[in-house]
Amino acid sequence: MINENLQEVRNALPQGVALVAVSKFKPSEDILEAYAAGQRLFAESRPQELAEKAAALPKDIEWHFIGHLQTNKLKMVLPYATMIQSVDSRHLLDAIEKACAAEGRCIDVLLEMHLGAEETKQGMPEEEIMDILFDAENYPHIRFRGLMGMATNTPDAATVEADFSRIDSYMAYLVDTFPELESFDQLSIGMSGDWPIAVRNGSTMVRIGTAIFGNRN
Ligand SMILES: *Cc1c(COP(=O)(O)O)cnc(C)c1O
């Protein structure tokens, strides 16, 4: 089933849109099934779960972190993640810079932009993202790769479309404003329920869980 689901999503995705398989809450057997079907890029949203799975699973899996990250949990994530997609505060960014500087390494990050209506939704407002990028030279161990966002959780496609259109426009604006950030080219939008809308609005990376692995208990 996982194999079929993966093929279905892959066949529908245009060239140039990466498929991130979101394996949170799913057992390693499910991940290995996707792995056997050729999937190498996976994402987790909880630090300990990422660390346990990544330590046990094949080393050529690439892991992204997509959940809310507390700075005291960074040490569980950094050894395994090649990208942190969910940087939602300056405080977290400072901690990542410091930890990577200490280890003499760089890491890819996406800045998570607040989208959608829900008050509790994570992510930073546009101005905060702008402030960080004006300050990019103070983060020599961070490679700013782009933006991540989650649309309003609603069945109303027009609302979702408006959210994705807004982040796509803001992405274009940032690319224009910061031409010196040469690898700032990734827009991570789109999940199981809304990825076709995201793809119409400039997504370069979709994060898909349930449409591949089935419902999470
Ligand atoms: C869980 C999760 C997803 C995947 O959601 P599905 O609806 O299962 O595809 C994508 N992005 C983030 C940040 C998530 O936490």
- pLDDT average, residue stretch 61-65: 98
Residues with CB under 6 Å of ligand 1 are: 22, 24, 45, 66-67, 150, 191-193, 207-211
**Which protein residue has the closest C-alpha to ligand 1 atom 13?**
66
pLDDT, tens digit (0-9, with 9 covering 90-100), for 71-99: 999 999 999 999 999 999 999 999 999 99
Model confidence at 31, in pLDDT bands (50, 70, 90)? Answer: very high
pLDDT at residue 120 greater than cutoff 70: no
- Please give the model's pTM, rounded to 2 decimal places: 0.97
pLDDT at residue 207 greater than cutoff 80: yes
pLDDT at residue 129 greater than cutoff 80: yes
- In ligand 1, the atom with minimum distance to the C-alpha of 24 is 1
- pLDDT average, residue stretch 59-81: 98
CA 35–ligand 1 middle distance (angstroms): 19
pLDDT at residue 13 greater than cutoff 90: yes
- What DSSP string runs through 7-21? HHHHHHSPTT-EEEE
CA 193–ligand 1 middle distance (angstroms): 9
pLDDT of 182:
94
pLDDT, tens digit (0-9, with 9 covering 90-100), for 175-191: 999 999 999 999 999 99
CA 39–ligand 1 middle distance (angstroms): 17
**Which protein residue has the closest C-alpha to ligand 1 atom 11?**
207
Q: Which residues of 95-108 are buried (b: 16+ CB within 10 A; e: fewer)?
A: bbbebbeeeeeebb
Pocket test for ligand 1, best of 45, 63, 84 (most atoms within 8 A of CB): 45
Instruction: Please state, in angstroms and as integers, the Cα–Cα distance from residue 34 to each residue in 11, 94, 169, following that order.
Output: 15, 35, 33
